[in-house]
Structure 1
Amino acid sequence: MIHFPAQRRSPLSALSLRLVAALALVFATVAVVYLDRDGYRDVNEDGLTLLDSFYYAVVTLSTTGYGDITPVSHSARLVNVLYITPARVIFLIILVGTTLEVLTEQYRTGRRLTRWRKTVKDHVIICGYGTKGRSAVSALLENGLDKSRILVVERSSTALRQATAAGLVAIEGSATRSATLNEAHVKNAKAVIIATDSDDASVLVALTVRQLTAGQVRIIAAAREAENAPLLKQSGAHHVIVSSATAGRLLGLSTSAPPLIDVVEDLLTPGQGMALAMRSAERNEVGRSPRELDCLVIALVRRGRVITLTDPAGAEIETGDMLVYVRDDRPQPATVA
């Protein structure tokens, strides 16, 4: 099942608003009838009480109309023409409003689903919307990827609500199943990020994605244990990030070289000062040393291989190289006109 971003207005608030409007209309009709009660005739001919006014208002607005209470005076009939009849129509609209809204929402959802299926392409699939999945989405958004190109696959209803509340399209189901990944249009995806809670599930997801896409879609997976990283790569993952080993290295750095932790956190935290970025080499930069550029280049990516500046191959920039550099990520102050 595909879940689209949540609407701001909840069904409970919409229903409560209709209920209040219906009750207000009933009480207003009772007041109008009771103030002009002398213009109505009851079959008992004992005059209209407040209860009779409520009775007449309810059976009239609901179009039941037993006929035991009728308007006889000119003023009462005029009130029925100018107020009671329009109020009856409005009351019916309020009563069927919930049904109409459900039908309209189903139609709107169907239209959105059809349009989404036609346009979804080069998107990124996030398998798992836990801590790792949410962090991956944040990093993608920080690097300029539009929310419409991010698709979450998750089984947990709580995580699904969080994803749709964040404005993301989510598919309910297990990423280990081919049917779920086909519904996510995995063959047209740009990349699949596997951020499940267990390494076993990550391996199954990687195998399923590789089988469906014939290895044409880039797979990035997270592993809890380093010993499972080779298995994930054999299963089809192009890149594997070992969370436990990375956390252990950071813990070691925090003891032996505390300032390095601040640098790493600065690089990983958006808007703090520094951030890692990558761009294509420009034509006027080809043939020059990466150290001569204005930006701080720390590595080159050439034909899919990372080349450090200490490598002789990284002495000059070649055509088609990607530059990995450190950019200034601090919020820019507003200019005063």
Structure 2
Amino acid sequence: MKDQERQPTGPVRLSLVRSLWYRSRREARDDAEAGRSITMPVSVGAPPLQQVLRRLAMGLLVLALTTLIVYADHEGYNDNSDGSVDLLDSAYYATVTLSTTGYGDITPVSDTARLVNILVITPLRVLFLIILVGTTLEVLTERTRQQVRIHRWRMRTRDHVVVVGYGTKGRHAVQTLVGQGVAKERIVVVDAQRKATEAAGDDGLVAVTGDATRSEVLRRAEVPHASRVIVAPQRDDTAALVTLTARQLNRRATIVVAAREDENVPLLRQSGANTVVTSSSSAGRLLGVSMVSPTVAKTLENLMTLGSGLTLFERPVTEGEEGQSPRSSADLVVAVVRDRQLLDYTDPRLTRLQQGDRVITVRRAVPAPEQV
């Protein structure tokens, strides 16, 4: 996962600069549509009072700098009242000049003073005005800043996880991914409901609002560059269409689909799903086990609940475990993935662990995060 996160930043920066300088009509249309549908995680800014005090300090700094510049060449200025310019006169001139009041009682008369006014004082006046109207400019530039964030995200997002549907199943899937070490920056949520995408944004996730059965919506979520796709909508027919569209856009991604009915599992597999989890039948089996043996049901619930007691974990075999029996491992090995085959602990081929094996173990779970 760390190797996947190392993305080249040079082309991204060049593309970002190019997008700020020039955009074709198609790129402008795509960015505008992305800005309406993509929800970025909310960035917490400074409180309003701190922003005002920061701008006030910057304005005073510019005023003090202008005063020093004028006073350093005070002989090049003329005061109509007494003919000389002292430090107080320099501060007065800087104040009326930066505020564009310009009474004209103190004027630059030497060539050096006039050149400094052209090259230094005028840019400082513009900077001072920008600071004064910073709140208004911040509102006006919010759209540009949002487009820059979205453009940068679209250029950097590769080998990520797309979760279609942010209902109960989608939220718990995201919680499990985060609990397994997947960074929130590597997860993108797609949902047709604005409330769901806003909730995902509040949880620190990038979210796309739109119908996931449409290819352009999945493209905004960068599905063609994703490594895994979780499909968890409310209806099985929607899941089939989303799976078919996602597989058409990405032939290599692992697609896991949640289905309600067992009879729809073959259709979802034909649509391109690698794994189909049937929620209704799984719940029914858990209910049956609970009636026969509540302790077994509780153990299964612990295994399926993140951060609760025990958890199943897949990892590569270590150098110290190579050539050893699975029973000699520090963790409880229940299965081994070898040459893309799943071998349970009773398989006679599991007398020794080999290089390249991936073991599925039961271990003590770490506490789950309170919120995604």
- Give the TM-score taking structure 2 as reference length: 0.65
Alignment-derived partner of residue 71 in structure 1:
none
What pairs with 1:1-337 in structure 2 (closer than 5 Å)?
1-8=37-44, 99-213=136-250, 215-330=251-366
Contact preservation (8 Å) 2:169, 2:232: yes
Deviation digits for residues 122-153 of structure 1 (CA, Å, limit 9, x no counterpart)? 10000110000000000000000000000011
Query: What amino acid is the match of 1:143?
Result: Q
Superposed CA deviations along residues 47-78 of structure 1, whole A, max 9, x for unmatched, are xxxxxxxxxxxxxxxxxxxxxxxxxxxxxxxx
Contact in 2 for aligned 1:222/1:243 (Cα 8 Å): yes
Give the 3-state SS of the residue equivalent to 1:312 in structure 2: coil
* Cα distance in 2, alignment partners of residues 300 and 147 from structure 1: 29
Alpha-carbon shift at residue 7 of structure 1 (Å): 3.6
Preserved contact between residue 147 and residue 167 of structure 1 (Cα < 8 Å): yes
Residue aligned with 2:153, SS? helix
Q: Which residue of 2 aligns with 1:334?
A: none
CA distance in 2, matches of 1:199, 1:250: 21
Q: What amino acid sits opposite 2:190 in the alignment? A: V
| CA positional deviation for 1:116 | 0.9
Supply the AA of the counterpart residue of 2:205.
L
- Measured at CA, do residues 182 and 101 of structure 1 come closer, stay the same or move farther in structure 2, by a change above 3 Å? same
Look up the match of 2:5. Answer: none
- Conserved 8 A contact 1:196-1:202: yes
Q: Work out the percentage of aligned pairs sharing the same amino acid.
A: 46
Aligned residue number for residue 54 of structure 1:
none
- Cα deviation, 1:86-143, whole Å, max 9, x if unaligned, reads 8x99xx9899555422223222212211211221011000011000000000000000
RMSD: 3.1
Once residues 175 and 196 of structure 2 are traced to their aligned partners in structure 1, the CA distance between those partners, rounded to angstroms, is: 15
Other-structure match for 1:43: none
Instruction: Give yes or no for contact 2:227–2:252 (8 Å, CA) kept in 1.
Output: no
Distance 1:112 1:324 in 2: 39
Contact in 1 for aligned 2:164/2:212 (Cα 8 Å): yes
Q: In structure 1, list runs of 5 or more residues that go unmatched.
A: 19-81, 332-337
Taking the aligned partners of 1:95 and 1:261, their CA distance within structure 2 comes to: 65
Higher alpha-carbon deviation: 298-307 or 225-234: 298-307
The SS at the match of 1:325 is strand
Q: Secondary structure at the match of 1:153?
A: strand
TM-score by length of 1: 0.72
Larger Rg: 1
Q: CA deviation at 1:314?
A: 2.4
Counterparts of 1:8 and 1:249, CA distance in 2 = 45
What is the identity, as a one-letter code, of the residue corresponding to 1:104? T
Deviates further, 271-280 or 228-237 = 271-280
